[in-house]
Every structure is written in C-alpha cells, then in structure tokens.
C-alpha cells in the first residue's frame, strides 16, 4: 500500500512529436497550485487496486484507509501490507490502529529509500502517465475525474489500460 499526490500542474514526460513540430503543454498561473491525495493498495490475488481519496496525507487519513481495507474490503482473512517508512505509517496512532488487527495483518516494512520494491509505486507511475502526464486539466475536479476513471479501469481486466503486474516481475 502507498499514497500519491497529484497536482493541477501536470508532470512532464518524454513524448513523440512530428519533426519540426514541438508539443506545447500549457502551465497554470503561479499561486494556483492545487493538489489531491489518494491512498491505495494493490491486491495480488486479483490484480486490482483499492483506493480512497483524501484531503491530506497524515496519520488520521492513513488510519481511515487501513480501517476501510480491513473492515469493508477485506473483513475476514489475513492480509499482508507492504509499506514504506513515511512518518505517519509509523506514528503511535497508526501503530495502535494496526495492533487492533494484528491477528489478521502482517506488515512488511520496506527498507528506506527503496520505492522500487513496492509494486504499487509502478502503478502510480502508470496512473500518472494515463491521467495527467503532459495534460493540463482545467480544474482539480477534472483531474480527479480523470484519475478516478483510470483507477476504475485498473480493476477491469479486459481494459486496454489495465496494468498487468505479473508482467512487471
């Protein structure tokens, strides 16, 4: 599991252009920086993403996502959470919340500065490429709609935008 922040200012990626024609990506005006955050988890069993939109990335929203996963999405059975070492993952409140489910949850803490070990990081890159790279959205709501559209397509195995994680290994 992991989280991602998306900004109205688009990430720029390399792209193809016709010879002699330079692609132009407009920019937003300074001072209008807007962003949104998503918490997400990758389910190895069915190659899907569970996610929630959040106003902030902090212990409270992290705990809310953990509770969503463990009470709504996977109310029974054991799960394994692979997590990085961001401060709010290891806060006292977060560890207390995780301890409530310790009989069903195993946590694998990744080494510091090793995002390549977490598969969902690869999905976040894929999502940004589809939803917002080299594209200027008119509003944060447009960016949210685009992101949620592509998040939903990940859970459709017949979608041409579905990232097959088994091919990444």
Per-residue pLDDT tens over the stretch 78-131: 999 999 999 999 999 999 999 999 999 999 999 998 888 998 999 999 999 999
Greater pLDDT, 135 or 112: 112
Contact status, residue 147 vs residue 141, Cβ threshold 8 Å: no
Rounded distance between C-alpha atoms, residue 6 and residue 36, angstroms: 5
As a 3-state breakdown, the chain gives helix, strand, coil percent values, each rounded to 5, of 35, 20, 45
* Residue 129: count of CB within 10 angstroms of its CB: 15
User: In this predicted model, which residue has the larger pLDDT, 141 or 26?
Assistant: 141
Predicted pLDDT of residue 115 = 86
Q: Model's pTM, two decimal places? A: 0.84
Residue 23 reports pLDDT greater than 80: no
Confidence tier at 27 by pLDDT (50, 70, 90) = low
State the pLDDT confidence band at 138, using cuts at 50, 70 and 90.
confident
Strand order in the sheet with 48-54: 2-7, 35-43, 48-54
pLDDT of res. 168 = 55
- Using the predicted structure, report yes or no on whether residue 26 has a pLDDT greater than 70: no
Confidence of residue 7 (pLDDT cuts 50, 70, 90): confident
Report pLDDT digits (tens) over 44-73.
888 899 999 999 999 999 999 999 999 999
Q: How far apart are CA 40 and CA 123, in angstroms?
A: 10
């Amino acid at each position: 599991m992991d989280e991602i922040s998306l900004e109205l200012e688009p990430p720029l990626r390399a792209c193809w252009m016709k010879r002699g024609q330079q692609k132009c990506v407009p920019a937003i005006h300074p001072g209008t920086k807007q962003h949104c955050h998503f918490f997400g988890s990758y389910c190895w069993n069915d190659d899907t993403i569970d996610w929630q939109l959040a106003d902030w990335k902090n212990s409270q929203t992290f705990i809310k996502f953990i509770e969503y996963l463990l009470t709504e999405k996977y109310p029974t059975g054991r799960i394994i959470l692979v997590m990085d070492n961001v401060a709010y993952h290891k806060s006292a409140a977060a560890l207390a919340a995780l301890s409530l489910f310790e009989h069903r949850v195993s946590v694998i803490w990744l080494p510091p500065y090793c995002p390549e070990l977490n598969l969902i990081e690869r999905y976040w890159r894929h999502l940004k490429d589809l939803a917002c790279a080299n594209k200027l959205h008119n509003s944060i709501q447009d960016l949210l709609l685009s992101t949620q559209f592509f998040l939903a397509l990940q859970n459709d195995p017949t979608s041409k935008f579905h990232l097959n994680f088994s091919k990444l290994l």
